[in-house]
Every structure is written in structure tokens, then in C-alpha cells.
């Protein structure tokens, strides 16, 4: 593990109780940061925080609810004094169906968590970062947001929207020493696979030249650099980690 210096920094990791979010939290703690896990499952998040150790606290948050996010922001600021890093990781896959078979409510549910959620969190946290003239925002998008996976239009559209949000916000915050970037991982073997059909999982694997899924630790390593002071000129950018799948 290469050493990334996050000493004295406070990070929010949404959906930090498991999967990518837990791996990112663990890497941040190893790098010296304090972490606020924002998760809809507080008991699970509290258990994760206890298992990881260090300066990690759990907060129950529905990331798509602005009032709930603002409360969590205020509680995080009270607990840690500042917010330097925001990782918008919370997300769901939704059911695997064609566009014409997908219920509108299912479409809205996926967009609400995967796209509305990061918008709401950025809206709530950005002013605090502007006041301190420092911040790092990392949005966990997906290779599906670049290519559009069949039978996952809602997920693909939400991640494409997150990429565009990243580019817009990066331009808006560029003069405030706040870097906003996205990562586009291939799939990883996490709990999100439980929401997918085996056929869809096989399809995703078949597209990866490395012939394996990304490891959560690999994604966390990239995010750790993006969260650091070393990432000082890259903003509004998309960092690929898809095992060679991406064609642009």
C-alpha cells in the first residue's frame, strides 16, 4: 500500500458501511483521516465503524433527502469541526429489465439514490468547503455511465448524469481550491451483485479485457489519491478503472 497523506482531514463517505464505501473508509483511516459514514442502515454503519476503528462515526442518512443531509452535515461539522472530503458512493443497481419493461417507479428509485443523492450531498457540503477554501469531492460513477449497459438503462443513465454533474460542479468550484472528480469502475463483487441477474453479471465480466472484476481495494487506492492535496490540478475529470473495458 502506497502512503497517502490525509492527516487532519475529515471525510464523508456515503454508503460507507460495505463494499466500495467500506474499502474507501478503511483506506482513508490508514491515511490518517477522520471519517463520517453516512448510510441508510445505521446499525450496519455503526458495526462497520467499530470494526474499522480509528476516528470513524456513523450517521443515519437518506442521501436523497435534503433536510436529512443538512442535519447530517451539521452533526458532522459539530463532531469533526470541518469537512474536507466528500465521497458520493451510495448507490443501487435496480432490477435488470429492458426500458419498456421497467416500471417508472423503479426508474425513479434508481435515479433518486444514484443521481439526486450526490446532487443533494454536494449542494449541502459545498458551501462549507468554499468557506475554508479547500475541498475534494469524488463521485463514484460507473463504466455503465460511459457505455450504457443493456437491461440497466436506469443505472446507466444515473451514472452518466453523475459524470455530467461532476464536470459542471468541477468548473463551478475550480476557483475555490475544491477538486471535483469522478471514477468509473467496472463492477466489483459486492452486495450490489445481489440486485442483478447472473446473466447481467456474466455480461459485465465478458466486457473486461482483464477478465476479472475490480477489487474494492483498487478503487479505494485511486479515490485516496483523488482525496489528497496531491490532486491539485485535476478537476471535472473522469478516472477510469475498468480493467481495459472503457474505449474513451
Question: Which residues partner with 181 through β-bridges?
Answer: 138, 237
Do the strands 135-140 and 178-185 form a parallel or antiparallel pair, or are they unpaired? parallel
Which of 82, 64, 78 lies closest to 14 in space, CA to CA? 64
- The single residue listed with the C-alpha cell 468547503 is 129
161 alpha-carbon distance from chain centroid: 14
Among 239, 165, 197, 176, which residue's Cα sits nearest to residue 93?
197
Q: Which residues are bridge partners to 121 per DSSP? A: none
Please say if 155 is a catalytic residue.
yes
Whole-Å CA distances, 39 to 5, 100, 110, 200, 228? 25, 32, 16, 26, 23
Strands (E), 99-156: 135-140
| List 61, 155, 196, 222, catalytic entry | 155
Calculated CA dihedral for residues 217, 138, 141, 119, nearest 10 degrees: 140
What residues are labeled active site? 155
Amino acid at each position: 500500500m502506497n502512503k497517502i497523506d490525509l492527516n487532519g482531514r475529515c471525510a464523508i463517505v456515503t454508503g460507507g458501511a460495505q463494499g466500495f464505501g467500506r474499502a474507501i473508509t478503511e483506506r482513508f483511516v490508514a491515511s490518517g483521516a477522520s471519517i463520517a459514514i453516512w448510510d441508510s442502515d445505521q446499525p450496519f454503519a455503526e458495526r462497520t465503524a467499530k470494526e474499522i476503528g480509528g476516528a470513524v462515526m456513523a450517521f443515519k442518512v437518506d442521501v436523497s433527502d435534503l433536510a436529512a443531509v443538512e442535519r447530517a452535515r451539521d452533526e458532522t461539522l459539530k463532531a469533526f469541526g470541518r469537512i474536507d472530503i466528500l465521497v458520493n458512493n451510495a448507490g443501487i443497481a435496480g432490477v435488470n429489465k429492458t426500458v419498456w419493461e421497467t416500471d417508472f417507479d423503479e426508474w425513479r428509485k434508481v435515479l433518486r439514490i444514484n443521481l439526486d443523492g450526490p446532487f443533494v450531498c454536494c449542494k449541502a457540503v459545498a458551501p462549507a468547503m468554499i468557506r475554508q477554501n479547500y475541498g475534494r469531492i469524488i463521485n463514484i460513477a460507473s463504466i455503465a455511465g460511459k457505455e450504457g449497459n443493456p437491461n440497466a438503462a436506469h443505472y446507466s443513465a444515473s451514472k452518466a448524469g453523475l459524470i455530467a454533474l461532476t464536470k459542471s460542479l468541477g468548473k463551478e468550484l475550480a476557483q475555490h481550491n475544491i477538486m471535483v472528480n469522478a471514477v468509473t469502475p467496472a463492477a466489483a463483487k459486492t452486495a450490489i451483485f445481489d440486485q442483478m441477474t447472473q446473466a447481467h453479471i456474466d455480461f459485465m465480466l465478458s466486457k473486461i479485457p482483464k477478465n476479472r472484476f475490480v477489487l474494492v481495494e483498487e478503487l479505494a487506492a485511486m479515490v485516496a489519491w483523488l482525496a489528497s492535496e496531491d490532486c491539485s490540478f485535476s478537476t471535472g475529470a473522469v478516472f477510469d478503472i475498468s480493467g481495459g473495458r472503457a474505449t474513451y
